[in-house]
Structures are given as structure tokens and as C-alpha cells.
Structure 1
């Protein structure tokens, strides 16, 4: 019994030990499991981190390799860390410029004192409508376009001027630099291009081309009219100014070009250089095919000009003018850029520069309403021209007084065979009476330069832009009292889709002016000669045709010009009526003619030669008649 009890006790102790071991083992495994899981997770995380870092290194390496493959030594600019989308702003009271790191070029140019036709801020450069690029080859056979690379910007001050430097780097000491400097209250921007330490980088055997493209976005009420006034202008060798056609497309290759202007109607973007471009390939293309559809842009301009190295380096001092076409302001730079304003050639431009522009600005300096300024300017011009109108009318009156005697000569020498004799007798009568047949033509010819000068003045005067008068909301564009959306092919092309009232009033005034003037002319007109055109019929046709032509032509033109012609013709009608009714006395003119006939006449050498030529012609005509 004692042995059995000992056995039981021993078994109990063994089971207890085994149980204790099992409990210890279980507790030990539970404590170890979390540690193992945490260790595994940490390893996975470390592996993911290492993989990400490795992928980034690989990606950067691939990008760097691709950049080196594409740009060669200029791959440094790609990896420089400069933000590609970054920009720098230069701003004064009149101009705001935004310059991008990519390409180092101007991507926005706002004229702060002007608005577009929708009353929105006016931008000459915006939304990628302009592109400035220098293309060149490198010694490692890469083709570089600066517009694709990232420039490193820095800003500073030069007195009151704001300066922005953009460097396209090969290293910290080797770069191509664009430097912009903006003065206070000025539209002219200093701009320079220079290379530093690139003598062994740029391949001098390859062409270095400056490429400048721009699309002229619409700024004015009438895109058709604006397109007619938008053109590429330039100054070429020997100080000669020229422009490309305003038609559909034109291009020229010019030498020694000092400046190139992408001129819109009232604004210009001009690139000037102190070192003339030896060659410049210039292109202009109209983008307006249908004014009802093409409503965004007027023309696209393009310039390609080779640049030259000086001692292995680029060094060009240039300027950008980005601003309004104001003749006085443009002329103040002494660069000839005022010639972008088409004031007319020769005498027409001289009249505008020395008469109409000063008169207009003098009147507008103390009168705020530009419609009133135009009316007063018209009054001044017509008063200055009234002596010519008087001389023309006096000449007509003299011819009218002589008409009975000239009719008698025509009756005495009828037929084609007596034409030379008839003309000789009429000229002798006029000379004896002291009447010059050209006296009536010369005053009219002297007035023609004024007409054509004004035709150029009104479309060029920016002060009329967006200025209202009566029903016209913009004196620099057409006035519209009625518009329609239906497109009528022929009518819309020549007349437009609107009805302008000022051209109608001007056309009516022209009709009555021509009627009064031609009535005076017809009263002294000789009967049509055999084989000669009937002048009376031609004058009647012109009396009706001219107002209709003006009605169609001026419907899309500046309403300020139509207002001028309306007031001008009203004043001319008034002056002619006063001269005819109160100034000219036909009885006195006739008495003066009789006095002239009593005086001995000196015949000039020209008249002697003319009389001799007519005498010879009459003799030759008589001989031919005798042979027959």
C-alpha cells in the first residue's frame, strides 16, 4: 500500500512538471509571435523604402541621360533645380510684363491704361501668342532651342529701373543670358542677349538664328478694319522704311534691318537692335478669311534673323517697344519707329505731322469731347481752304461770262475737221480776256492732298479710340444704329452686317455739294466734240456714283472720318452759297474782262510754242484734207 501511494505521488509530481513545462512553452510562444510579426513588417517597410529610393534614382538617372542625349552640355540647365513653371514680373505705371523661366521670354504684356473692345484688360502678349527663340548648334552636335530650356532668373535694381536677368547655364560660370531692364513710366524695354564662357560650346560653323513669331490678337470693334490696319513694318538699309502687304500673305528677305514692328491698328510690338541684322526673313499672313467666323486674331507674323558671333561670343544690345502708336512718343526715341504709323507718303504725311496732328491735339487739350474736337478741326481746315474755294468759283464765273462768245466760236467752226482751229480761237479769246482755263483746276488739285492726308489721319489717331459721340460708341471704328446676324454673301462682303448713319449723312452732303459745284461747271461746259467723251454725262454719273461708293466704303471705316466729311461738305456748301450770292458779281467780272481786252498782252515762250504747235497741226490737217 505504501508503494502504491509512493507511485501515485511520483506520478502526480511528474504530471505537474509536464504541465508546468507545457504552460511555459505556450507562454513563451505567445510572447515570441508578436515580436516576429513586428520584425517582419519592419523589414517589408524597409524594403519598400529602399525600392522607392532606388526607383527615383533610376528615374532621375534616366531623365538626366535623356537630357544629356538631347541637349548635351546644356543638360545642366535641366538639372539645375529651377522651377520650369516659374515667372518673373516687371511692372511700371503703364506696362506689366511677365517673363517665364522656360525660354526666358515674355509670356504676358499688359498695357495698363488701355482696354480691348470688350472692355477687358488689353494684352499684346498672352496665351502663347508670342514666341522668342534662339536656335544654335553646339560642339557636341546638339541643336539647341532656347524656348525649350529653363533659364535661372534673378532680379535687381539699376537706380529706379527694374532689372531681370535670365541665364541658360552650362555651369555656374558659363551661360547664355537674356537681360531685361524696365524704366519707370516707359513702354520701351532694354533687352540684351550675351553669352559668357560659351566659346567652346557654341559651334560657330552652324547658323545661329533668332526666331520671333507672334499672332496679333483682336483688340478693336471691327476685326475687318483692324486687319486692314495691321501689318509688319521694318527699317532696312540706308534708313528706308517698308512694310509687308496687308493682304493674305507676303514675305521678304531684307538686309541690314534695324528694327522690326508687328504693328496692330493702334498698338505695336517692336524689336530694335543696335547691331543691325545682316539678313532678316520676314513673313506676314492674314488670318481673317470671314469676318463673321474669324473673330480672334488678325495676322500672324514671323521673323528669322541670323546672329553673328563676336570673338566667339554673342553680344547684342536690343530693345522691345510694347505700347500704343502715339506719333509724338514714338518719335521721341529717335529710332524712326514712328513710321509704323501710316500717315501717308510725301506731302500727305507732311500735312498730317505738321498740321492735322498739332491742330487736333491743341483742340483736344482743352476740349474733352472728341466729336466736338473733330467739328472744330473741320471748321479750321475749311476756313483755311476757303481762299482756294473762292478762286475756283471766281474762275468758274469768268468761264460762265465768256460762254456766249465761246458758243459763237463753236458755231463758226463746226465739225471735226475744224477742231484745231476752234481750240486755237477759244484759247486766244481766253488769253485776251485774262482768263486762265487752269485757274479752276489748280485750287481743286491743291485740296486733294488735304483729302488724302485726312484719310490717313483719322485711322491712325489713337485718342479717338473708344471715344463716343452722339450714337457712335467709338469714333475710331464704325458707328452702328442697326445690325443683323443674317449673312448675305455679296452685301456682307462689301457693306457689312450693320448700318452706319454718319456715312449716310456724309454721302448726302457730298451729293448736294457735287450737284451745286457741277451745276456751276455745266453752265460753262462746252458741247461735246465729235470723237470726244461727253463730259456733262460723265459729271452727272459721278454726281450719283461718288456718294454711293462712299456709302459702301465708309460703312466699315472710322466714324470720325465720316463725321468730318459730313461737317466739311456742309461747311463747303455754305461757303459756296455765300460766295455765289454775296461775293461774286458777274457784271463786275464782265467789266474786268473788257478792261483786260484793252490791255496789250505779253505772250510767254510757252504759249508761243503752244500756238506754233497748234498752227503747224492746223496746216498739217489742211494738207491732209487737200490730198483727199
Structure 2
């Protein structure tokens, strides 16, 4: 981490020192062209940091520049495989010192946790904006999709719930689930109602769609355009379903929460539920929400399997797969597949959710698996209540009135856009068909 400054404006720059075997971290072409001056430099791991910085007093006053003392910073990766380490070099400018004279290169050092409660509230860390050392962000390709701002927000919410509401990190995570589920409930309810209605329409239209496929076996575009006409007749369109939107809206939360629980110092070695499992004979289950749950204990030596570094037998990912299976088996709406290919794709997606997803999260922080497991369990209860409400609604497909459909403008913007697009496509297909059937006469 480096924080060059220009005037009183901070520029924050994050560098992954493991990217290259040898690299110059300071100065770079960007910092040279921008005329930036170095304020502090830090080397960090998951929870701790070692930073060099200027000598700032307790009031936050002093020269915030150390460029005169550090001319360049280099980084190189040494060793191989598990024995790798990062060697960072801080190089002072070459200076001639006369006999009997002195040259001052003293700087201050911060060696401590990446904890915002420290870096946000004490000098000189406030004056130097050293809170920027704290990053809830996965490295490499995952850095783009981590949503740093969302991880910061979740950190504030979880800390507030733990310190002022439930006084336990595990309960704070469960309460966060209820908050998120409550916010998404209107979308979830509308999605499930529309999916049920759409499924019943597609079941009713299936015989007619099969006839269209037999009538135009080599013209899938014509089949699609005629299928659109049938769907317009019954006043439905796929955009109204919202389908997997509730899950997609939660995915950024899961990713940000993964990074938060992995890097947040405050959760390090914190047990869930007031440490009740540790009172039962020092049981390691949920003893540390920043690591796997270790239901059956921890291995003395971690075992590497494929992409995972397994430290014990974990039960939460297995329970998560079981919950996903129950959701797919009993709570999902009837299949809307209109072809064997679609049915096969839906089957593959179900297998991925039940098997692959829990495998990917097997060694994830137990706080994250606790969140997803709780969210999925609450989702089952929520779906059951919504289905009870759906049973009281008239979902049977009804033929839409051509006159009303023509004269009355739909309030559904997505529905109108889809209908207009499909109508334009249908006319285009019909025009092409007419051109193919046209025969020029002599």
C-alpha cells in the first residue's frame, strides 16, 4: 500500500506485490507525471500491517512528506511455492555527508492490526489517512466484483449490530439476513407470483408450441415469433417474471461479505453465539467466524485438495447443499422448459447450485456460510408463506382482449419494451418469409 499526496489531496493506490517477481512500487510513471510526493508506505497481510511514515505529533501536525528520505521502493518475491515471501526494499537517496556532519533519516513506524477503530480515531493515522490500509477486497480477478463500498457498508452495519443490538457476531450476521430479506421481500414476492403465472401459461401453450415446431421444423425464428403471438394473446412476457433477480441482488452481498469476513480484524478469532460451543469441552465448531466452521475438529496438518486447502471437516457447507436441494425439490415453481435443451440446462443449473456452490464455499469463512445457510432457510419459510398467498390469487391464464391490448397502454415499461421488440422481430421474420415465397414473373 502506498499513499502519495499532492498539496493536501490524498491519492490512494493499491498494489498487489505478488503480481510480479520483481517490481518498482515507487516511483511509477503515473506518480512521476502527477508530481506526487510519498506520504507513507505499508506492507500488509490478512490482518496486520507494517508501515513507515513521517514524524507527526499527537495533534496531527508535521511534515507529511517522506520523499526526501525514501527515493524508491522495490518489491520482489523470493522462494518457491509455500515458502514464498515478499522482500520489500526502501532506498534512500544517495547523499554525501561531510565529516562530523549528520544526516537525519528518522521516520515513524506503525506495526499493528488493520483495525479501523484504531486508524480512524488516533493521530497521526487520521492526519495521514492511514485508514486506507484497510481493504476488504479479494485479489486478482475477484477485485473487480468485490464491491469495496458495499463491504465497507456491511462492516458498519455488522459492527453496529454487534456492539449496540445483539452483542454477538453470529447473531449480528443472522439479523443482517433478516434485514436484507425484508428489503428484498417485495421483489421476491412479485417474482414468485409472476413465475407461477408464467408457468401456468406455458403449460397451457405447450401443445400449441409443439404444433408450431412441427409446422416449422427448420425455422426456429419463425417458431419464436409465432410463440410470441401466442404469449401476447394471453398477456404475458418473460420480463414480468423477475426470475432469479432476488438471488442476483444478493450475490454482490455474498461476495462483499466473503471479503469482509475474511479480512475484518474485529471478527478474527471471534466465536458465534457467545462461544456456547466452546463451553462444551472446547469444541472448535464456530470458534472463529473468519475461518471454516470445523464441526468435526481441525486437522493438525492442512490437506490440499484441488483448489482447496482443507483444515477440517466442515458441516455448514454440507447443510447449505441440503437446503439448496430442498429449495429445488419442493419450493421451486414447475418447470417452464419448452424443449429438451432447456430442460437439460435447468437440470445442470440445479446440480451446480446443490453440489458445486457448496464445494466452492467449503473452506470459506464460517460467518459467510452461516449467512447463506440462514438466508436460504429463511427463504424457504418466506416462499411457503408466499405460496399460501399465491393459492388465493387467480393465476389461471386468460385470453387478453385484443381491443383493450391495442388501445390501453401497458403500465409495465419492461413489458412494453419486450412486446414492441418481439412485434418488430415478428414482422421482420414475416417479411423475409414473403420475400422467399415471392416468384418473379417474366
TM-score (norm 2): 0.71
- State the distance in 2 between where 1:566 and 1:286 align: 40
Q: Tell me what 1:458 maps to.
A: 261
Matched, 1:398 2:210: no
SS at match of 2:160: helix
SS at match of 1:262: strand
- State the distance in 2 between where 1:590 and 1:368 align: 49
1:339-378 pair list within 5 angstroms? 340-343=134-137, 348-354=147-153, 356-366=154-164, 367-378=166-177
CA apart distance, 1:612: 2.8
CA apart distance, 1:478: 1.9
- State the distance in 1 between where 2:87 and 2:136 align: 18
Change (3 A) 1:357 1:485: closer
Matched, 1:535 2:325: no
- Greater share of strand residues, 1 or 2? 1
- State the distance in 2 between where 1:284 and 1:510 align: 44
SS at match of 2:361: helix
CA apart distance, 1:617: 4.3
Matched, 1:234 2:33: no
Matched, 1:588 2:394: yes
Q: Would the aligned equivalents of 2:234 and 2:397 in 1 still touch at CA under 8 Å? A: no
Deviation string for 1:523-572 (max 9, x for gaps)? 222214xxxxx232233233233443344433332111111111111111
- State the distance in 1 between where 2:237 and 2:107 align: 59
1:106-121 pair list within 5 angstroms? none
Q: Tell me what 2:373 maps to.
A: 566
- State the distance in 2 between where 1:489 and 1:605 align: 51
Change (3 A) 1:483 1:606: closer
Q: Would the aligned equivalents of 1:331 and 1:338 in 2 still touch at CA under 8 Å? A: no
Q: Tell me what 2:382 maps to.
A: 575
Deviation string for 1:68-90 (max 9, x for gaps)? xxxxxxxxxxxxxxxxxxxxxxx
Q: Mind listing any 5+ residue stretches in structure 2 that lack a counterpart?
A: 32-37, 55-63, 138-142, 278-284, 411-415
Matched, 1:335 2:129: yes
The total of aligned residue pairs comes to 379
Q: Tell me what 1:387 maps to.
A: 186
CA apart distance, 1:420: 1.5
CA apart distance, 1:329: 4.2
Matched, 1:264 2:45: yes
Which of 513, 524, 533 is matched with 2:327 structurally? 513
Q: Mind listing any 5+ residue stretches in structure 1 that lack a counterpart?
A: 1-232, 529-533
Q: Would the aligned equivalents of 2:292 and 2:366 in 1 still touch at CA under 8 Å? A: yes
Change (3 A) 1:551 1:244: same
- State the distance in 2 between where 1:315 and 1:436 align: 74
CA apart distance, 1:586: 7.1
Change (3 A) 1:411 1:325: same
- What is the alpha-carbon root mean square deviation over aligned residues? 4.0
* Higher RCO, Cα 8 Å, sep 6+: 2
Matched, 1:494 2:308: yes
Which of 107, 113, 130 is matched with 1:324 structurally? 113
- State the distance in 1 between where 2:351 and 2:169 align: 31
Which of 62, 65, 72 is matched with 1:275 structurally? 65
Change (3 A) 1:442 1:504: closer
CA apart distance, 1:287: 6.1
SS at match of 2:395: helix
Deviation string for 1:137-166 (max 9, x for gaps)? xxxxxxxxxxxxxxxxxxxxxxxxxxxxxx
Structure index of larger Rg: 1
- State the distance in 2 between where 1:434 and 1:346 align: 37
Deviation string for 1:92-141 (max 9, x for gaps)? xxxxxxxxxxxxxxxxxxxxxxxxxxxxxxxxxxxxxxxxxxxxxxxxxx
Which of 292, 307, 321 is matched with 1:478 structurally? 292
SS at match of 1:365: helix
Q: Tell me what 1:289 maps to.
A: 81
- State the distance in 1 between where 2:328 and 2:78 align: 38
Deviation string for 1:435-493 (max 9, x for gaps)? 341332444433322222222221122222112233222111122214556887646x6
TM-score (norm 1): 0.52
Q: Would the aligned equivalents of 2:39 and 2:65 in 1 still touch at CA under 8 Å? A: yes
Q: Would the aligned equivalents of 2:44 and 2:50 in 1 still touch at CA under 8 Å? A: yes
Q: Would the aligned equivalents of 2:337 and 2:343 in 1 still touch at CA under 8 Å? A: yes
1:85-124 pair list within 5 angstroms? none
- State the distance in 2 between where 1:429 and 1:250 align: 63
